[in-house]
Structure 1
Amino acid sequence: MRTGGDYRIIGALLACAATPALAQTHSGVPPPAAATSYLPDDFARFAPRTALDMVRQLPGFTIRTGDSERRGLGQATENVVVDGRRIASKSDDPETVLARIAAASVTRIDIVDGATLDIPGLAGPVANIITSAGAVTGSFAWNPQFRARRTKPRLLDGEVSIGGASGPLAYSLSFRNESNRKGNAGIETVTDALGVVTDRRPEVLFVYEEVPKLAGALRYDLPDGAVANLSASYERGWKKLTEDSTRVDLVRHFLERERNIVWEVGGDYDFALAGGRLKLIGLHRSHANPLRSPVVLSYHDGRPDSGERYVRDTDRKESILRGEYGWAALGGDWQVAAEGALNTLDNTSELANLAPSGEFVPALLHGADARVEEKRGEVMLSHGRPLAANLRLQASLGGEYSRIHQQGAGGLTRSFYRPKGSLSLAWKPGTRTDVSLKVSREVGQLDFFSFLASVDLSGGSVNAANPDLRPPQSWKGEVQLGHHLGPWGSVTARLFGALISDIVDQVPIGATGEAPGNLDSASEYGIKVDATLAFDPLGWNGAKLTVNALFQTNSVDDPLTGLPRRISDTDSREVTAELRWDIPGSRWAAGASYESWVDAPTFRLDQYSRSLDQPGIFGLFVENKNVMGLTMRASVANVGDVRERFYRTVWAARRGGPVAFHEDRNRYYGPVFTLGISGRI
């Protein structure tokens, strides 16, 4: 039970709400010479309610969301900053933060190259949201959704946020609920090694999920130029998944119940010191994740039910202290940063078998109960300077020390020293063209669950415990080109590649077991394109096409065969496109959308699986931007009734030996209808 702690967190957030918070008054700061600036009038035809609505309409720009599981706070990774400052949170991504900022508070948006900002780690186009706070402003959105087949309607998805300022004190407060009602149904065909059909299984899946989250932030500008920020958030979500599969001799009932209780408190204090500025940052994040997952087999011939139950209780915590001191000297900007972090995972799990009496009897699951702890420290020195009027350099160099200690499950203590750093160049060869280059050495974050034994009853797989895991390291490089096409729009292309050592993938454990472990090396490369094409020059005023496409490939040597293969469960292709027509002289807009994705196969040592959604999902929408002051948008997705396909081959022992069976799953879910209602407070 965590009731007392939950109430204390809620009370702290309500205290934040009672005080005026987060917005910064930088409207008088002129844009940098190399920036492309967008004013509120540039977005007027879209009737935006929040800063997120505005950023989504920026030509040739896509928000890059940071990873909440990334290694500490480290250097910035998102391509969105607010008033020139990075978003230093692990529970809030850029979209969440922008959704709290009312469009009325946005003075302008500057698109700049990240290397030109005094924020180490950034490269390529970055959106800097310039705000000015005053009277209380806010927005709300409600997004009910209805599916054509089987699934109950989604009625509780939405958010509300307010923000404003009173003198030097500014605030924001938001409540958001991410709600999901999903489901599909269809036939799974099972064949043997020779391709003979052995079973045709009607299957039905339902997923119900609610994720309410309360977040608040305060900012105080002191008379001496110092700035203090405080933020907090509390999320308490639950998820229920059921799947029924009717088979030749039985019905398989699978149930998974999961809860997520996440809270985070963070703050920073930025002040002048000895000719420079010192910023002190603190953050604590807690994530409790209990899970219950029984599977029951009910036989047609009346035999007693059989089955299994997997129960897991997990608590993850992360505490971070970081200091950044920046100063100007020798014709450039300098920063030295030091960070210390403590990450812990406490996990208990139980596997039980269903006895003929109807009771679950505990079974042996070695290596599932343990505590994993990592203490980590890093120091980085960064420097940025102009090399020419249109060329700027940003470089950083440093390293980290980490100590990983595991109690239980074959406990082990190990220490690592890892160099880190990056080099970025931002070049503007013309008024419409931006080029950036970045090379970096990075250290990845381990998923502490990978150390422990675990069971996936849905897929029928087991991971053994493996305490001998090392953080992956990589050399990464990217070249990004952005070009403004004048009245035709804008296009940005990013070429990237990585050489990875100690990558985490499935490795053999003993004669028959397997678990996440380290492979020697892997490589990855691809291209990301974001383009906006306006049709006004062709006479179709108000119409534009936005395309976002990712194509990438990778390679790793399979631990069984020694032959190259794809890295498990990584993206191969993602394509989204939207054609939008804001009808001139009216409050109406309409359009169509398309999205498609292809993942690399998932490899285990005894099976191979892959999901597909070909040929992709088509949608249509119509929007009225002033229905009694509200924006209303009606949309339908999956108008072509694309089905979810899943393929799996399972071997009797290891891949390459005798095949046990093949599965071919073909499920439908039908069109999805969503009504979006949003407005200002």
Structure 2
Amino acid sequence: MKSPFMNLKSFTTLGCALAVSFFSVPALADDTDSQINDGRRIYIAADFERYAPRTALEMLQQVPGFVIREQIQERGLGQATGNVLINGQRMSGKSNEVIGELGRIPVKNVVRIEIVDASTLDVSGLSGQVANVIVKAERINGAYAWRPEFRPYNTDPRLSNFEVSAGGHTGRVEYSLGLDNHSGHGGADGPTVVRNAQGDVIEYRDDQWKSRFNQPRLSGRFVINDLGDSVANINVLYRQIFEHFSEDGTRSGPEMVDRRRELRGDADGYNYELGADYEFPWGPGRLKLIGLTRAMHVESSNQVHMFYADDRPVTGNRFDRTSDESEHIARAEYRLVRDGGEWQFSSEAAFNQLDSTASLFQLQDGQFQPVQLAGATAVVEEKRMEIMAGYNRHLRDNLTLQVNAGGEYSRLEQVGADGMTRHFRRPKGSVSLAWQLSSDTDANIRLQRRVGQLNFFDFLSSVNLNDNVRNSANPNLRPPQLWELESELSTKIGEMGTTTLRAYVHRIDDIVDIIPIGDDGESPGNIDHAWRYGVEWKNTFELASLGWEGGRVDTRFIWQDSRVEDPLTGETRPISRSLENLASIVLRSDPPGSDWGWGMNASYVYEARNVRLTEQGRFWEGPVWASAYLEHRGVFGHTVRATLGNLLGARSMWDRTVYEGRRTDPIAFVEERDRRIGPIFTLSIQGTF
């Protein structure tokens, strides 16, 4: 069923009204929360005092109208993505990325936050509004937080979610260190009704599942200063991985023996990353050398048992996998200013590898016996070279052009599982224009050609025991290539706040979706091309102008559509599990001069159906998530917040249609799941030292 929440007509009307408002709203006094300097909006710690932030990340999250975009996991390091920099630089990391680093920087070490247009920076690859967080460690400062969570149903208390970070300097080295555990507990319970093609009930299910994971992580960033015109950075990360999932349920129905089902899943492992860069003068410009190495080791096991009421033998299956992933990158970037513009040249070499061993077992006479699973064990490798050149210059005082062009060569090799070796040459690049219409309004447009990253696990056979789904091996996968056209218009509405409208159109060649393999198999594979297009509108409204001192509302809306030709039927449909609608609203009140604050939020996300060769369906949790909090910022020097989540009773739902063979065959059954999640209570205690 198509969501009634939003549609193209309403978004078109909304976008037109917004565009008119950009030019029809009179310029009011400057927002008291920022300063304008050479087209940059500048914020300092005092501008966020009423929110009592503890880290640089908490400061950035309160910048009016700014929504953090996490960096895209590019092939290798590639050009910069996302929209956040630290001291005008990107981090030489992937697992250890800029958002995590901001969460480790105490607010006392933040000099200012600059919201600027990406074209004014010396970092190629960025577009639109970018946050440049300027930090400097004068002395040792730190922050810590503990966030226990409690749920009344299905879930054990989560007591291990914590963060401790410190930053300072010693000699010529500035550093930030962090120890945290981003843990999570979840669970739900409820009925599932299974019907045949005629709508008759053929099975009732009642299940309860719970999950928990812990990922304790130690990380650090070291900046070596006082090297003359040179600067060096070192980033390190080590993380442990512990995950557990269980689901217990009953099965019953007409002409069916009552059954009890148990599913268990465990995963343990670790990953590490080491990245470093060194920038120095060389000839007429500056040269930056970057190196990165990272690896991950995970051992996982999933097994399911079925117990029957008539005492027949227990049945079951088990799927085990041990995987080792690694990536090694060497990159060089060179910048020089010449003839009124800035040239940027880069080259990169990368080596990626997945070494995975997997086995499938079936329970026979009380023992798990191996079952043949072709294509489950193999080594997948990719060697890649990239060369890019860019040029950035001001066409006018308020108009900036940025151009990047180049390409990459890659060699994909699979050893085992019908392996093969293939070679690819792909063009890459972008062209963007940034136009400062006034001191309050910026516009930019960008056309980019980029190459996407493959998931090496998609090359191999795998089994999902919970959903009874199997992927065949597919050594013929190709990296997708994308043409992306995006435009953004951002403006201040005087003291009222800020508003930003972004529109985009993406063409995706060789998109990865589920395709037929052989006579009856299916697996992730390439479809010729697809389209994705949409509109995003985000706003921050300060309510002081309406008489509500300390009141603020943040809203975000996305409408998106997509089109791809189904590889089985030839019909046009949305891309599997692609976003269609998103809406969120956040209201908070931080009265001046008070240590009390409160807030509420609600969000709605709607995705397209997940389409496989043998089934289709939509799994989602909602429809609306809502929460409210109350906090006090002076509890023995700490900020204490109590949050009650899932106020509107969001549930875990799955509508699934399974066919007798492929989707061109008759329907075998329809599965309707509706599970309770329940309220979520979180206590947050934050402090600094």
**Structure 1 length normalisation: TM-score?**
0.94
Asked if 1 retains the 8 angstrom alpha-carbon contact of 2:206 and 2:251, the reply is yes
- Structure 2 residue aligned with 1:22: none
Is structure 2 residue 226 aligned with structure 1 residue 218? no
**Aligned residue for 1:256?**
265
RMSD after superposition: 1.2
Q: Are residues 1:317 and 2:303 paired?
A: no
Which SS does the other structure have where 1:255 is aligned?
strand
Cα distance, 1:195 vs. partner? 0.6
Pick aligned residue for 1:445 from 428, 439, 453: 453
Is the aligned partner of 1:355 residue 2:368? no
Q: Secondary structure at the match of 1:115?
A: helix
Q: Distance in 1 between matches of 2:54 and 2:167?
A: 13
Listed one character per residue, the Cα deviations across residues 331-390 of structure 1 (whole Å, up to 9, x for unaligned) are: 10111100000000001100000012x110000100111000000000000110001010
1:205 aligns with 2:209: yes
Question: Is this contact kept in 2: 1:483–1:492, CA < 8 A?
Answer: yes
Q: Is 1:542–1:581's contact at 8 Å kept on the other side of the alignment? A: yes
Please name the residue that 1:12 is paired with.
Answer: none
Which amino acid is the alignment partner of residue 127 of structure 2? A
The equivalent residue for 1:46 is: 51
Q: CA deviation at 1:215?
A: 0.3
1:570 corresponds to: 578
- Which residue, 527, 536, 543 being the options, matches 1:535? 543
Where does 1:49-60 land on structure 2 (aligned, <5 Å)? 49-60=54-65
Alignment of structure 1 residues 356-505 onto 2, 5 Å: 356=365, 358-505=366-513
Structure-1 separation of matches of 2:463 and 2:388: 40
How far has the Cα of 1:612 moved from its partner? Answer: 3.2
Partner of residue 95 from structure 1, selected from 96, 99, 105: 99
Task: Please say if residues 532 and 563 of structure 2, whose CA atoms lie closer than 8 Å, have aligned partners that are also in contact.
Answer: yes
Equivalent in the alignment of 1:10:
none
2:148 matched to 1:144?
A: yes
Distance 2:494 2:113 in 1: 18
| Percent identity over paired residues | 42
Structure 1: distance between partners of 2:442 and 2:152:
46
2:335 matched residue in structure 1: 326
In structure 1, C-alpha distance between the alignment counterparts of 2:676 and 2:575, rounded to whole Å: 28
Deviations 1:266-307 (A, max 9, x none): 101110110211000000010112110001111111111101
Q: How many residues matched?
A: 650
Distance 1:591 1:503 in 2: 41
Partner of 2:651: 643
TM-score, scaled to structure 2: 0.93
Amino acid paired to 2:408? E
Matched residue, 1:544: 552
Aligned counterparts of 2:99 and 2:630: Cα–Cα separation in 1: 23
Q: Where does 1:164-183 land on structure 2 (aligned, <5 Å)? A: 164-183=168-187
Q: Distance in 1 between matches of 2:556 and 2:459?
A: 36
Q: Which is worse superposed, 164-173 or 136-145? A: 164-173
2-side partners of 1:455 and 1:150: how far apart? 26
Which structure 2 residues correspond to residues 596-615 of structure 1 after superposition, within 5 A? 596-615=604-623
Higher mean displacement: 162-171 or 49-58: 162-171
2:8 — aligned with what?
Answer: none
Cα shift at 1:618: 1.4
Q: Which moved more, 1:147-156 or 1:185-194?
A: 147-156
One of 324, 347, 357 as aligned partner of 1:338 = 347
Q: 1:63 corresponds to which letter in structure 2?
A: I
SS at structure 2 position matched to 1:215: strand
Conserved in 1, the CA contact under 8 Å of 2:605 and 2:623?
Answer: no
What is the CA–CA distance in structure 2 between the aligned matches of 1:541 and 1:566, rounded to whole Å? 45
Is 1:134 equivalent to 2:138 in the alignment?
Answer: yes
User: Counterpart in 2 of 1:112?
Assistant: 116
Q: Which residue of 2 aligns with 1:26?
A: none
Alignment partner, residue 17 of structure 1:
none
Match of 2:28 in 1: none
CA contact (8 A) 1:31 1:110 kept: no
Contact kept, 8 Å, 2:335 with 2:343, in 1: the verdict is yes
Tell me what 2:274 maps to: 265
Q: 1:3-28 CA distances to partner (integer Å, 9 max, x unpaired)?
A: xxxxxxxxxxxxxxxxxxxxxxxxxx
Equivalent position to 1:64, from 64, 69, 80: 69
- CA separation in 1, counterparts of 2:155 and 2:165? 29
Q: CA deviation at 1:574?
A: 2.4
**How far does the alpha carbon of each residue in 1:533-565 deviate from its partner, in whole angstroms, 9 at most, with x for none?**
111111011001111222211110001110101
- Report the counterpart of residue 6 of structure 1 in structure 2: none
> What is the CA–CA distance in structure 1 between the aligned matches of 2:344 and 2:208, rounded to whole Å?
56
Return the offset for 1:31.
8.5
Shift of 1:244: 1.3
SS in 2 for 1:232: strand
Are the counterparts in 2 of residues 598 and 613 from structure 1 also a CA contact under 8 Å? no
Q: 2:87 aligns with which of 78, 83, 88?
A: 83
- The residue that corresponds to 1:298 in the other structure is 307
C-alpha offsets along residues 35-86 of structure 1, whole Å, 9 cap, x if unaligned?
A: 111121111111111111100100111110113x421100011100011011
In structure 2, the partner of 1:593 is 601
Shift of 1:34: 1.5
Q: Determine if contact 2:92/2:235 at 8 Å carries over to the other structure.
A: no
Query: 1:596–1:613: 8 Å Cα contact kept in structure 2?
Result: no
Q: 2:39 aligns with which of 26, 34, 39?
A: 34
Q: Which digits, 9 at most, give the CA deviation of each residue in 1:544-591, with x for residues without a partner?
A: 111122221111000111010111122222222210001232110011
Task: Name the structure 2 match of 1:3.
Answer: none
Paired amino acid for 1:72 = G
Q: Does 1:288 align with 2:275?
A: no
CA distance in 1, matches of 2:575, 2:564: 6
Q: Verify the 8 A CA contact 1:63 1:94 in the aligned structure 2.
A: no
Secondary structure at the counterpart of residue 227 of structure 2: coil
Residue aligning to 1:579 = 587
What's 1:522 paired with?
A: 530
Cα distance in 1 for partners of 2:455, 2:173 equals 39
1:277 aligns with 2:277: no
Distance, in Å, in 2 between the alignment partners of 1:281 and 1:621 is 43
- Corresponding residue for 2:30? none
Q: Name the residue aligned to 2:241.
A: 237
Q: 1:614 Cα shift?
A: 4.0
Q: Distance in 2 between matches of 1:435 and 1:401?
A: 34
SS for the counterpart of 1:449 is: helix
Aligned to 1:20: none
CA positional deviation for 1:528: 1.8
Question: Who is 2:20 aligned against?
Answer: none
SS of the residue corresponding to residue 42 of structure 1 reads helix
Residue type matched to 2:430 in 1?
S
* Partner of residue 13, structure 2: none
Q: Tell me the distance in 2 between the aligned counterparts of 1:642 and 1:325.
A: 51
